Amino acid sequence: PQGRVSLITIGCPQASVGELRAVAELLKGKQVRSAPAGSPDDTPPLWVFTSARNREIAERTGIAQIITASG
């Protein structure tokens, strides 16, 4: 892309449990947003879309907590 990336999205329309697991593995121990919004070194937010059922599974298995902890 030309210019600055303002948003990263995964799962449009819906990420599978396997995709959520892969995202969690990539994010484990990392931060996706290192500075408050509007800061000069601001990194773009990461949005992950999934179904209600897959979210329940992700929450039950700890996948959602890893993704959430990354920022």
**Mean pLDDT throughout 50-65?**
97
**The pLDDT value given to residue 37:** 60
In this structure, the chain runs to a length of: 71
The alpha helices in 9-62, defined as continuous H runs, are 17-27, 52-61
CB 43 within 8 Å of CB 30: no
Q: Are strands 46-50 and 8-15 parallel, antiparallel or unpaired?
A: parallel
**The pLDDT value given to residue 51:** 97
Closest CA to 66 of 19, 36, 21: 21
**The pLDDT value given to residue 41:** 63
- Above pLDDT 70, what percent of the chain? 85
The type of residue at 7 is L
pLDDT digits 0-9 by tens, 27-55: 999 888 656 666 666 677 888 999 999 99
